[in-house]
Chain A
Amino acid sequence: MNIVDDLPPVLTALDRPNSYIGRSVPRPHLARLTQGRGQYVSDVTLPRMGHAAFVRSPHAHARIRRIGTEAAKKAPGVIAIVPGAELAEVMTPWVGVLTHLKGIKSAPQYAIAVERACWQGEAVCAVVAKTRAQAEDAAELVEVEYEELPAVTDAETALDAATPVIHLELGDNLTFERKHEAGEPDKGFATADTVVETTFVFGRHTGVTNEPRAIVADWNPGEQRLTVYHGTQAPHMMQNLFAKHLGLDEQQVRVVTKDVGGSFGIKVHTYADEMATVALTKLLRRPVKFVADRLESFVTDIHARDHRVKARLGVKNDGTITAWEIDDLTGIGPYSVYPRTSGIEANQIVNLTGGPYACPNYRAHARVVFQNKNVMCQYRAVGHPIATAVTEGLVELAAVKIGMDPVDIRRKNLIPDNAYPATGPSGIKFELLSHHAALDKIVAMMDYARLRAEQERLRRERVYLGIGFASFIEVTNPSAAFYGVGGARISSQDGATVRLDAQGAVICHTGVTEQGQGAEAVMAQVVASAFGVPIERVRIVTGDTDNTPYGGGTWASRAAGIGGEAGWQAAKALRSQVLAVAGSILQAKPESLDIRGGVVVDGATGTERIGLDEVARVAYFRPDTLPPGFQAELMATRHYVPRAWPFAFTNGIQASWLEVDPDSGFITLLKHWCVEDCGTVINPQLVDEQIRGGVVQGIGAALFEHCRYDERGQLLNGNMADYLVPMAAEMPDIEVGHVVSPTADSELGAKGAGEAGTAGAPGSVMNAVNDALRPLGARPITEMPMTPEVVLHALGRV
């Protein structure tokens, strides 16, 4: 397979000589990771550092009657044993609610549970010792007396009168409810020739980042300053939260992210055990390190996607969709996670269902309920995989019912490419999408007609292959509409500072962060292009609240579109500054000059006039040679936030080609395609690789991954042998194509691309499985993961 080809640059507004926009440049400075010389937070050690371990509740719901710490305190290497009540004196609790989710409610959550443990795995006591092994030894000696309480573990009955209420002061187990109606859904269903009605069930699953959550917190009482090494996606957000709950000023807190071994949204949330680690360093006045081990991760990393969606679609015989309706029920944990809330996933499902399609008639009802299971919150593609699977599942079921090809029914109903700006059935606003161009492209890429012919031929030999599609939309580049309006101190704007060093190299400090997706590379490409230097002359500084402009970090696919735009503007501003200095040195008009290939040149002829190193030398060391009254500035900061559109929606379509063995229920993935439109593509290879990684995560949800709980709230498969993540041998090759519809909300025109793969993969795989099984008279499968058991049940074989 070839390295991804560069795309030709698209927009003249970006037309810079030697531009890196649209080029598949290998990520700079990546060699340190192939050499094993990265620095992850789990690698960080500080002098006198203690290691934290936690005593965790074995019960899903229990009152903590007594904690005996005497024996544990005497264990070798122990520095401190700290139960919840003691830590509560150092750190205040929090409540995961935002005002724009009307009526959302939750109870205060403490860094370590004080009176009750509310899920199996919740920490009830902290142990700090010289080594992690010693901390675990001591944890075994902590005596906890529990009084078991009834556990709420069934979302369907969580709101029944007979079900215990987890937080009595809240009155019931309802976290959040939303109802939405648009157009005339009742009329739409009444005028339909056929109504498709089914229930979708999505298995709760989790991120399984390769590097577990890690934090090293260092309170220096001499400086009255807290430094936290934290593999977080949002360092400024955490800076605010650490300060707030410890009673510090933000400028007393520094958050440094280092290399992060995978996040996907897992590490953008506030975790009790991480907050506890930060409280412990303040209490103990020495650094404390906590790295969740894998067993801890399964019971404490946020889970996601635990939804039951009843859904209906009305369709006419000519294929016109007439109405959508969904009823979504999701069972989260006992607390809404802070600060983004656990209501967002359901909210997104209401927002996104039916999104690619023109039919405006829509009714949605979503309820989020508390349970005594691990907490749930935003994980890559938040809500999109579910909304997409529901939408696309209904569309393909409808196509079958009326005898229409699944490509044709989409051609009939997708919002036309020339109909923008447009509004989706939930009120979401689309600037410019390309559903039809993407559909045409994927049909060509996969040679759809040939696959159908092969499918038909092999069916006669009792080999069952299936094709499934999923059109999708994706939220990227969020404005303050996502969190800020709800009162969260989560920045939707971002900043970049670029400066010229004394040798004429460019350093860019950015508020967006890197977890492997290539945010640093994209920033470097943007800055190098806008400023006019080879990319080797650009260095990116990120992940440090002391050394970057105030920003939001990386989440909701915002780094390229928002961080990149700030970098673009800042680099242009620095170019102006440099040309002002150069003009003054050369006695030339700055407007007649440009920077190309790292040299100041005559703009019209390209003749080299003066090197950047010389400009820097004069500005920094010989300002006495500059005209009086002229002050050289060689550092520019620009910020950017999208203002015209609440979100920069992207779109795309995926297709899955697979075989199902009806005897065993085993599914073999043969190939996968994705055509995506993320606006201006800054680095095609990085976009492709984000899509591929995202697709495989979506395949994990479709076929393999499930946090399985019993009725007592015990997680049954919380280890890597029993919880199945996708490994190399079962994954298909994934071909990616591009369509480009830039956003006009920024000069770069870049939207986000990081989550699209995960959004569309589960729906397309589900549709392909059903397509494969149709000739066998199987009941359509609408639950995930689609294990062999699920397939065999659908076939009536067991």
Chain B
Amino acid sequence: MKPAVFAYAKARSLDHAIELLGQHDGQARVLAGGQSLIATLNMRLDSPDLVVDINGIPGLDGIARRNGQVEIGALVRHAAAERSDLIKRQLPLIAQAMPHIGHPAIRNRGTIGGSVALADPAAELPACLLALGGEVEIAGARGRRMVRADDFFKGLFDTALGPGDVLTAIRLPAATSETRTGFAEFCRRHGDYAIVGLAASARAEGRSLHDVRLAFFGVGATPVRARQAEAGLANGTVDAAVAGLAEDLDPPDDVQASGVVKKQLAAVLLRRVAAQLMEQRS
């Protein structure tokens, strides 16, 4: 399983990377962590002309709080995010999700930006982005732009990123005392991609939940917001939410589980995560 021949270039700067991507008419790939890209290349599922290594571009690996948001640079390694106190305190949902991503060796190289850009339907971070209503910062030939999470995921491995774009950061709302988050996934083995998972956030006012965002993953081509279930949780009970969920999700069968089983598992996750959301913050 050796890759087909390709050329390699190390980008000196963001502009340099964009220039290289632009020269290759869709036949260049961005190499960040490489934990997905290189496996794909090894299996010859993809054979680009050029791999653009962006690991040397300065300024893309910071974690900082700004204006009520936490900005995570695209090149922040999963391991760094896992260790980050700022993320633990200000983005509890991300902190909950991190240990589920692969294994230590994968987390030492894989990047936050890479995971969001690839948008594997069974991956944790894209769902977390959707659950928090975050934004994605993209740099391309025509400058920078922000794309909201709800608009970023389009289809299977298909996002708002074009072939000449580089994802540079994600921005997520920092948690307040009213923030409630919940995370759970079902996978056969620790570190696997989830069969089904749920990342959730909400705002608590007294005993009720507002701005409920339930992002399921492993249930379709992209992470999916379960809108009826969200309404059910906001308005009434968990049972109402579970009833709504049956309308929200229609997962296709895949190698790990049938759609019917995924639906059953999604309902179980909803109950567990709803319980997490309803717990009082200490």
A and B touch in the complex (CB under 8 A): yes
A136 to B5, CA, bound (A): 11
Residues of chain A contacted by B1 (CB below 8 angstroms): 136, 293-295
Instruction: Knowing A137-B5, A664-B186, A721-B193, say if A792 contacts B255 (CB, 8 Å).
Output: no
- Chain A min CB distance to B241 (Å): 16
Interface of A (DSSP majority class): loop
A72 to chain B, nearest CB (A): 14
Looking at the complex, which one of A132, A663, A664, A719 makes contact with B2 (CB distance below 8 Å)?
Answer: A132
Q: Please pick, from B4, B43, B189, B258, the residue contacting A789 in the complex, using a CB distance under 8 A.
A: B258
Minimum CB–CB distance for B115 against chain A, Å: 16
| B265 at the A interface (CB under 8 A) | yes
Closest to B259 in A: A798
Contact between A789 and B257, CB atoms less than 8 A apart: yes
A792 touches B264 (CB 8 A): yes
B281 CB–A CB distance under 8 Å: no
Within 8 A of A (CB), among B239-282: 255-258, 260-261, 264-265, 268
In the complex, A240 has a CB within 8 A of chain B: no
Q: Is the CB of A789 within 8 A of B193?
A: no
- Smallest CB separation, A690 vs chain B (Å): 24
15 contacts between A and B (CB under 8 A): A133-B2, A136-B1, A136-B2, A295-B1, A664-B264, A708-B255, A722-B255, A724-B192, A727-B190, A729-B190, A730-B189, A788-B186, A788-B257, A789-B261, A792-B261
A133 to B190, CA, bound (A): 33
Identify the closest chain B residue to A132 (Cβ): B2
Residue B188 CB within 8 A of the other chain? yes
Interface size on B, residues (CB 8 A): 24
Residue of B258, B261, B265 ringed by the most chain A CB atoms within 10 A: B261
Instruction: Determine the distance from Cα of A293 to Cα of B2 in the docked complex, in whole angstroms.
Output: 9
17 additional A-B pairs beyond A136-B1, A719-B43, A788-B265, beta carbons within 8 Å, are A136-B2, A137-B4, A137-B5, A140-B44, A663-B264, A665-B261, A704-B188, A716-B255, A721-B193, A724-B188, A729-B190, A730-B188, A787-B188, A788-B186, A788-B195, A798-B260, A798-B261
Given contacts A137-B5, A788-B261, A788-B265, contact A729 B189 (CB under 8 A): yes
Q: Which residues of the other chain, B, contact A722 by a CB distance below 8 angstroms?
A: 255-256
In chain B, positions 156-211 with a C-beta closer than 8 Å to chain A are 186, 188-193, 195
User: Chain A nearest CB: distance from B51 CB in Å?
Assistant: 15
Task: Assess whether B255 is in contact with A717, with CB atoms less than 8 Å apart.
Answer: yes
Q: Would you give the 0/1 interface string for B36-61, flagging 1 where the beta carbon is closer than 8 Å to chain A?
A: 00000001100000000000000000
Q: CA–CA, A355 to B81, complex, Å?
A: 57
Q: Which residues of B contact A663 (CB under 8 A)?
A: 264, 268
A interface residue count range (under 10 / 10 to 19 / 20 to 34 / 35 or more): 20 to 34
A contact residues around B191 at 8 Å (CB)? 727, 729
Residues of B within 8 A of A665 (CB): 261
Q: Does A666 contact B (CB under 8 A)?
A: yes
| CB atoms of B190 and A664 under 8 A apart | no
- From A132, A724, A787, contact of B189 by CB (8 A): A724
Q: Which residue of A lies closest to B43 (CB)?
A: A295
A664, A665, A719, A726 pick with most chain B CB within 10 angstroms: A664
A179: Cβ under 8 A from any B Cβ: no
Q: How far is the CA of A133 from the CA of B227 in the complex (A)?
A: 49
Give the chain A neighbours of B5 by CB distance below 8 A.
Answer: 137
Interface residues of B (CB under 8 A from A): 1-5, 43-44, 186, 188-193, 195, 255-258, 260-261, 264-265, 268
Which residue from chain B places its CB closest to the CB of A296 in the assembled complex? B1
Count chain A CB atoms within 10 A of each CB in B5, B188, B268 and give the residue with the most.
Answer: B188
Q: In the complex, A137 Cα to B5 Cα: how many Å? A: 8
- Chain A residues lying within 8 Å of B261, measured Cβ to Cβ, are 665, 788-789, 792, 798
Residues of B within 8 A of A708 (CB): 255
Closest A residue to B193 using CB positions: A721
Chain A residue nearest in CB terms to B2: A133
Q: Closest Cβ of chain B: how far from A558's Cβ, in Å? A: 34
- Please name the residue on chain A nearest to B269 by beta carbon: A664
- Of residues 692 through 743 on chain A, the ones whose CB sits less than 8 Å from some CB of chain B are 704, 708, 716-717, 719, 721-722, 724, 726-727, 729-730
In the complex the two chains form, what is the Cα distance from A132 to B2 in whole Å?
7
Cα separation A665 to B196 with both chains bound (whole Å) = 13
A565-609 vs B, CB cutoff 8 Å, 1 = contact: the mask equals 000000000000000000000000000000000000000000000
The interface residues of chain B lying within 8 Å CB-to-CB of A726 are 189
A137 to B44, CA, bound (A): 10
Residues of chain B contacted by A724 (CB below 8 angstroms): 188-189, 192
Q: Mark A422-455, 1 if CB is under 8 A from B, else 0.
A: 0000000000000000000000000000000000
Is A643 close to B, CB under 8 A?
no
B268 partner residues in chain A, CB cutoff 8 A = 663-664
Q: Lowest 5 A-B CB distances belong to which pairs? A: A133-B2, A729-B190, A293-B1, A663-B268, A789-B261
| Interface: A244 (CB within 8 A) | no
Which residue from chain B places its CB closest to the CB of A731 in the assembled complex?
A: B189
Q: Which residues of B contact A788 (CB under 8 A)?
A: 186, 188, 195, 257, 261, 265
* Complex contact B189–A727 (CB within 8 A): yes
Cα–Cα, bound, A792→B43 (Å)? 34
Q: Closest chain A residue to B103 by CB distance?
A: A727
Distance from B243 Cβ to chain A, minimum over Cβ atoms (Å): 16
Is residue A797 within 8 Å, beta carbon to beta carbon, of the partner chain?
Answer: yes
Cα distance A436–B193 in the bound complex, in angstroms: 45
CB of B216 to closest CB in A, whole Å: 15
Separation of A483 and B143 alpha carbons in the complex (Å): 73
Q: Which residue in chain B gives the minimum CB-CB distance to A798?
A: B260
A526 to chain B, nearest CB (A): 39
- Distance, CA A663 to CA B263, complexed state (A): 12
Which A residues lie within 8 Å of B256 (CB)? 722
A798: which B residues are within 8 A, CB to CB? 258, 260-261, 264
- Chain A positions within 8 Å of B44 at CB level: 136, 140
Q: Is A666's CB under 8 angstroms from B186's CB? A: yes
Give B267's nearest chain A residue, CB to CB.
A663
CA separation between A265 and B74, bound complex, in Å? 47
CB distance from A619 to the nearest CB of B (A): 55
Q: How far is the CB of B212 from chain A (nearest CB, A)?
A: 22
Which residues of B are found within 8 Å of A787, using beta-carbon distances?
188, 257
Q: Report the minimum CB–CB distance from B28 to chain A (whole Å).
A: 20
Cα separation A616 to B255 with both chains bound (whole Å): 65
Closest CB in chain A relative to B252 CB, distance in Å: 14
